[in-house]
Amino acid sequence: MRKPMIAGNWKMFKTSQEANNLVNTIKAGVHSIDYCDIVICPPFTQLSSVISLLDGTPIGLGGQNMHFEKEGAFTGEVSPVMLKDLGCRYVILGHSERRAHFKETDSIINKKVQSALSYSLVPIVCVGETLEERESGRAQDTVRQQFEGTFQGIDVKQFEKIVIAYEPVWAIGTGKTATPEQAQEMHHFIRSLVEQKTNQEIASKIRILYGGSVKPENIGELISKEDVDGGLVGGACLKAQSFIQIIQGTVEDNAKV
């Protein structure tokens, strides 16, 4: 059975003091939770102070992006080695904001995925269609294309370590959530792509998170769907109470066991 995962993507929010307050409140709210893997992905500037607060908690730390090289003359970039050095176990890769604003292509993301795996970071790899692609009936084609480009050359054995996040671009930060049925349909499709690329066993193990306006009110319905294994949460992870409630909402998922 797949253990649910909730990952909070803080994006470009939170100064040091705000970060400390948020983490301390989350810690207090989730200390006894063992039914869900919890990950927080603060900005690079907060990683080192946040990790010092996470000691002895079940919460994992992740970066929001990284360069694929281990070091070099890449002004402004952060490497997988640096993320590991600070205690990160995860890294979000291929977020639609990186694709749209920073021109990250599937082939760049593919290099990042390979690099993250080689440094034993768990990549949380995002795929998802725009509104125009959905409305013109091309949602699955887009996701298939992203999937193939992003995971090209990934070893079957390595695949198990990957987490995939389906994030329809039209649902990110808009308040519009995909219906649980739309999410399930795409998650099922993504799992079938994993199976084609690997095998049935790995496809049944890999976690596929949904992202796009996840909140305490909709997590229960989303997670009750067969192929939805958790959430990548943006806006609602910036407030401790809503993030905690989303994590608590995954308890429903244990009913699927």
Hey, which residues are catalytic here? 95, 167
Q: Which of 149, 216, 220, 235 is close enough to bind ligand PGA by CB under 6 A?
A: 235
Of 150 and 213, which has the nearer Cβ to ligand PGA?
213
Of 149 and 235, which has the nearer Cβ to ligand PGA?
235
Distance, CA of 247 to chain centre: 14
What residue type is assigned to position 20 of the chain? N
H helix runs in the chain, sequence order: 16-30, 44-54, 80-85, 96-101, 106-118, 131-135, 139-150, 156-159, 180-197, 200-205, 216-223, 240-249
- Options 29-37, 46-54, 71-79, 209-217: segment touching ligand PGA (CB under 6 A): 209-217
Distance, CA of 105 to chain centre: 18
- Options 70-78, 186-194, 232-240, 248-256: segment touching ligand PGA (CB under 6 A): 232-240
Give CA–CA dist 88/51, Å, rounded: 8
Q: Which of 214, 219, 222, 247 is close enough to bind ligand PGA by CB under 6 A?
A: 214
Of 47 and 209, which has the nearer Cβ to ligand PGA?
209
User: Is residue 230 close enough to count as binding ligand PGA by CB under 6 A?
Assistant: no
What residue type is assigned to position 132 of the chain? E
Q: Which of 42, 80, 230, 234 is close enough to bind ligand PGA by CB under 6 A?
A: 234
Shortest Å distance, C-beta 52 to ligand PGA: 25
Please, what's the b/e burial string for 205-241 (b: 16 or more CB within 10 A of its CB; e: otherwise)? ebbbbbbbbbbbebbbbbbebebbbbbbbbbbbbebe
User: Is residue 37 close enough to count as binding ligand PGA by CB under 6 A?
Assistant: no
User: Is residue 219 close enough to count as binding ligand PGA by CB under 6 A?
Assistant: no
Task: Return the percent helix, strand and coil in the chain, to nearest 5.
Answer: 50, 15, 35
Q: Which of 232, 240, 246, 247 is close enough to bind ligand PGA by CB under 6 A?
A: 232
Shortest Å distance, C-beta 103 to ligand PGA: 18
Give CA–CA dist 46/44, Å, rounded: 5
Q: Are 170 and 214 in contact (CB under 8 A)?
A: no
Q: Which of 121, 154, 163, 172 is close enough to bind ligand PGA by CB under 6 A?
A: 172
Residues that bind ligand PGA (CB under 6 A): 9, 167, 172-173, 211-214, 232-236
